[in-house]
């Protein structure tokens, strides 16, 4: 048997599709629509993946969301972005 290596190039997912995935992960959270909008804007700004959106939703669901004003600035909620 002979071995050979090949590669497949995957194109980046369209921004609209990423936004749709993020929205589906964020929508069920028990936070206001305004806060959800801010989170989605952040995801769009940094072009995160669907998996990143799911991780963010998990972190937020485990947090105390009663104080939404500080929700996105809490130290526990940190996401490292690669620009």
pLDDT given at position 65: 66
pLDDT given at position 57: 84
Distance CA 82, CA 67 (A): 28
Q: What is the pTM of this model?
A: 0.64
Confidence of residue 4 (pLDDT cuts 50, 70, 90): confident
Q: How far is CA 33 from the centre of its chain?
A: 16
pLDDT given at position 44: 82
Confidence of residue 42 (pLDDT cuts 50, 70, 90): confident
Residue 71 has pLDDT above 50, yes or no: yes
pLDDT given at position 66: 65
Q: Is 16 exposed, middle or buried (0-12, 13-18, 19+ CB in 10 A)?
A: exposed
- For 74, the enclosing helix (H) or strand (E) is none
């Amino acid at each position: 048997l002979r071995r050979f290596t090949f590669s497949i190039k995957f194109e980046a997912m369209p921004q609209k599709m990423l936004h749709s995935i993020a929205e589906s992960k964020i929508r069920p959270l028990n936070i206001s629509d305004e806060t959800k909008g801010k989170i989605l804007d952040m995801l769009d700004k940094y072009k995160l993946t669907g998996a990143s959106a799911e991780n963010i939703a998990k972190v937020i669901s485990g947090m105390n969301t009663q104080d939404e004003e500080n929700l996105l600035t809490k130290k526990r909620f940190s996401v490292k972005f690669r620009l």
